[in-house]
Amino acid sequence: MHVGSPQTLFPSLPVLILAGCGEEVSVASTPTEDRITISELNMEMMPIPSGTFVMGSPVDELGREFNEGPQTTVTITKPFWLCKTEVTQGQWQAVMGNTPSDFKGDDLPVEMMSWNDAAAFCEKFNEMKRDTLTAGYHYTLPTEAQWEYACRAGTTTRFSYGNDTEYSQLGSYAWNKANSSSKTHPVAEKLPNGLGLYDMHGNVWEWCLDWYGDYQGGSITDPQGPQSGPDRVYRGGCWRDSARLCRSANRNWNWPDLTYFGLGFRVALSPIPSE
């Protein structure tokens, strides 16, 4: 397993100015589209507006990995929704009827998840909700671009809340090696990002839809990643990782049937891609 100054990228939305470590961070507030509540699963989907952002990290970012560049300007042309939390064991049990996780607890993120497992959950979830799905949308894993766009929530800093070069604030937002006591924790115990999403940094890694591939630079619209490959992408860092692996731009990848007690996912309600 392969284990600049901030600016607002959602200009049409009001912003919340947060102060920390002597810097101001502009973070987009939750857009006006309705959030979606799936009461039978106690699941809430947060609306993510369309827009443009810079994906990846600058060459001088502290903790940067080789595969985080060249930075690429990405346009997301349609809004989507993203689960407010990582999928929990209780939600997995309600849809799939089993409990595969190493750590046990209904409010803990489901882990020991392969990419194939996460895709199977989304497929079954679509079957369950087919009569109420928004036209032209389906439940799926977020693309890598959607994931980073939502994680950043309008920021260009190392984390969704600021650069935090000393990692003095990370513990307020993320379960990681420094504070997890070597285990996962119930979702949504830490602070959310500017779009109301919890645990985008830490707790468990989150599978993305894409096959893993190199960034190409330049500008791109609604990227889906390579058409094929040996490895799928996952993002966000986990409870046993160092702080730098929890950065917004950090990438990881492995074969789709890998299971691991630090690896889970969250669900997106995304536009069905055109052929």
Residue 1 domain flag:
no
Q: How far apart are CA 178 and CA 167, in angstroms?
A: 10
Closest C-alpha among 35, 89, 85 to residue 191: 85
CATH (domain of 137): 3.90.1580.10
Tokens standing for residue 274: 């055109």
pLDDT band at 275 (very low <50, low <70, confident <90, very high): low
Q: What is the pLDDT of residue 15?
A: 35
Residue 258 forms part of a structural domain: yes
Contact 148, 159 (CB under 8 A): no
pLDDT over threshold 50, residue 23? no
Average pLDDT value for the chain: 90
* Model pLDDT for residues 130-154, shown as the tens digit of each residue: 999 989 999 999 999 999 999 999 9
Kindly report, residue by residue over 29-66, the tens digit of the pLDDT: 344 469 999 999 999 999 999 999 999 999 999 999 99
Q: Per the domain annotation, does 10 fall within a domain?
A: no
Position 182 in a domain? yes
Q: Tell me the per-residue pLDDT of 219-258, one tens digit each, with 9 for 90 and over.
A: 999 999 999 999 999 999 999 999 999 999 999 999 999 9
Cis preceding-peptide flag for 186 (omega within 30 of 0): no
Q: Pick the residue with more confidence: 223 or 5?
A: 223
Which residue's structure tokens are 């990405």? 74
Is residue 42 within 8 Å of residue 91, measured between CB atoms? yes
**Residue 10 in this model has a pLDDT that exceeds 70:** no
274 pLDDT band (50/70/90 cuts)? confident
pLDDT at position 12 is 37
pLDDT digits 0-9 by tens, 162-221:
999 999 999 999 999 999 999 999 999 999 999 999 999 999 999 999 999 999 999 999
Q: Where are the beta strands (DSSP E) in 49-163?
A: 51-55, 72-76, 80-83, 137-140
In terms of residue numbers, what domain contains 257? 15-271
Cβ-count burial 177-199 (b if 16+ within 10 Å, e if not): beebeeebbebbebebbbbbbbb
- CA distances to 65, 73, 208, 214, 249 from 70, rounded to whole Å, are 11, 10, 20, 9, 12
Residue 95 neighbours by CB under 8 Å, 6+ apart: 41, 121, 124, 125, 128
Do 261 and 116 meet the contact criterion of CB atoms below 8 Å apart?
Answer: no
Burial of 5 (0-12, 13-18, 19+ CB in 10 A): exposed
Q: Is 122 within the bounds of a domain? A: yes
The number of distinct structural domains making up the chain is 1
Spatial distance between the Cα atoms of 203 and 264, rounded to a whole number of angstroms: 9
- Residue 130, in any domain of the structure: yes
Q: Is pLDDT at 28 greater than 50 in this prediction?
A: no
| Domain-embedded: residue 20 | yes
- Phi/psi of residue 89, nearest 5 degrees: -65, -35
Question: Domain for residue 8, yes or no?
Answer: no
